[in-house]
Chain A
C-alpha cells in the first residue's frame, strides 16, 4: 500500500521544500520508491533543491493538458534509485490547477511508488487545497517561532476538517544553544502547544544551505551530518521504526556551555 503524504506548514519559508527533497532522498536511501510532487505552481523550487532543474522537460500541467504521459514528465534521480520528481509549471499561476486534477495525478502515481510526497505552497488558498486534495497523511513543518507555530495550528485544524487525521510534526531549524539560554521555544514547548505527534527534529545547520546550493540532498554528500541523520530518522519512523530523537546538544559542548555547567547553570 502506498502512502500519499503532504508536506505543509501554513507559513512560508519554514522549510517545506527543504524537507520534501531531503526526506524524499532519505526514503529512497532506505530502498523505498518515492515520487515527489511539486505542488507550488508558479514558484517551483523542488527541482532546484534536488539538482534536477536541467532535466525538467514536461510538468504536471503538460500531463493534465494531455501533452505527455505521466511517466514522461517524471524526472528520475540518477544518484538515488527509486526517486522521481514531478515538476510544477513555472510559467503558470496557482489558478491553473484544480484539486480534483491534483488528486488524479497523485492517485495515479500511488500505483507505482511506495511514497508520494507533495510539497505544498505556503498559505491556505487554492494551492494548499490542491496539495492536500489527495493526501491521506500530513507532515507539518514548523520552526520554534510564534508565527510559524500559530500557522501550523491553523493548518492542522484545516486538515482535520478535511478528514486528514494522520498528522505528524517536524520541528525544523532548532537552535539548541538558544533553547538552552531560554531564548527559543524547545521542541517540547511546540509539541505541547500543537498536540500532534512528533516525527522529526531538524537542527538549524549551515550544511542544509550548502546542500541546497549544490543541489545535493544531505543524505548523499553529508550523510553522517546531524541534519542528514535527522532526515534518515524521519524516514525510518515513517516505516514504523522506533528511533530515539537526536541529542542536538551533544555537539554543542563548546567552551561557553562547559564553563556555564561548571558554574552550575
Chain B
C-alpha cells in the first residue's frame, strides 16, 4: 500500500524523483557518438591532423615524428588533444618570407600577428 502511494506521488510529481533517465541517455549518447564518429572516419582524422600541422608548422618547427594526436573521452567530454613538440620558433623575417610565397594568406591578418608577437618578445629583450 505504501508503495502504491509512493508510485502515485511519483507519477503526480515526476520532478521530485531525480531519476531523469532522459538526460542520462542523452549525455551518454553524446560521448559515444563522438567516439564512434572519430573511429569510423580515420580519413577525416588524418586530414585534420595534416591541416593542423601545416598551420602550426608555419610558425614553429615541430617534430613530426614525436607528435601525438588523439581524441579522448573522459566521463564528461570528448576532447581533441594534440601534443606537438616544438623544435624551434621561427623568426619574424622567415615568417614574412613564407607568407609572400603563400598567396592564399591574408597579409593584413599577418600584420596583426606580427605586432602581437613583437609585444610579447620585448620584455624578453630588455631582460637580457
Contact = CB atoms under 8 A, between A and B. Distances in A.
Contacts of A144: 25
B81 interface: no
B14 A265 contact: yes
Nearest to B16: A265
A185 B22 contact: yes
B39 to A, nearest CB: 10
Judged by DSSP, the binding face of B is helix
Contact of B22 (A153, A184, A263): A184
Contact of B26 (A158, A180, A189, A260): A189
Interface in B1-33: 11-15, 19-23, 25-26, 28-30, 32-33
A189 B22 contact: yes
Nearest to B11: A256
Given A182-B21, A189-B26, A263-B13, 7 more contacts: A149-B29, A154-B36, A157-B37, A180-B14, A185-B25, A186-B22, A259-B12
23 contacts: A146-B29, A150-B29, A150-B32, A150-B36, A154-B36, A154-B40, A157-B37, A157-B41, A158-B40, A161-B41, A179-B22, A180-B14, A181-B11, A182-B14, A182-B22, A184-B25, A185-B22, A189-B22, A189-B26, A193-B26, A259-B12, A260-B12, A260-B13
